[in-house]
Amino acid sequence: MQTVLVIEDSKLLRVQREHTLKKAGFLVVTAIDGIEALTVAREIHPDLILLDMLLPELDGPSVLRALKADPATAQIPVVVVTGLSQMNAEKLMHDGAAAFLEKNQLLTNSEPLLYTIKKALEGCPV
């Protein structure tokens, strides 16, 4: 069973994503801020990380850069989920994100999330 670390400070969105991913057959671990996210990622070495950008303690872009700078976590695919516009997508991809999804795309349909996670786990461009 593949493990996904969901990093999301909104309880509603965190629970929603956790439910969706568990239903799809993933083991799900969660973190609510950037500091906890880095600790958990280093401890459990998940197969994939689902990362919100607006987090307390340490923001998403800083978490992404820290994950990619650490040899222990650098190879873990990171799918960025944010409410910010796609103008940030190019920068995030340059910083090491495997894919970029806008939160509003996922509010009523989980298929883009599951598709993106599957492709990122296969190492395919998304």
Q: Which domains occur in the chain, in start order? A: 3-115 (3.40.50.2300)
Higher per-residue confidence, 105 vs 5:
5
pLDDT score recorded for residue 35: 97
What value does the mean pLDDT take over residues 3-11? 96
Pairing mode, if any, of strands 78-82 and 3-7?
unpaired
Instruction: Decide: residue 118, CB within 10 A, 0-12 exposed, 13-18 middle, 19+ buried.
Output: middle
Higher per-residue confidence, 100 vs 93:
100
pLDDT score recorded for residue 106: 75
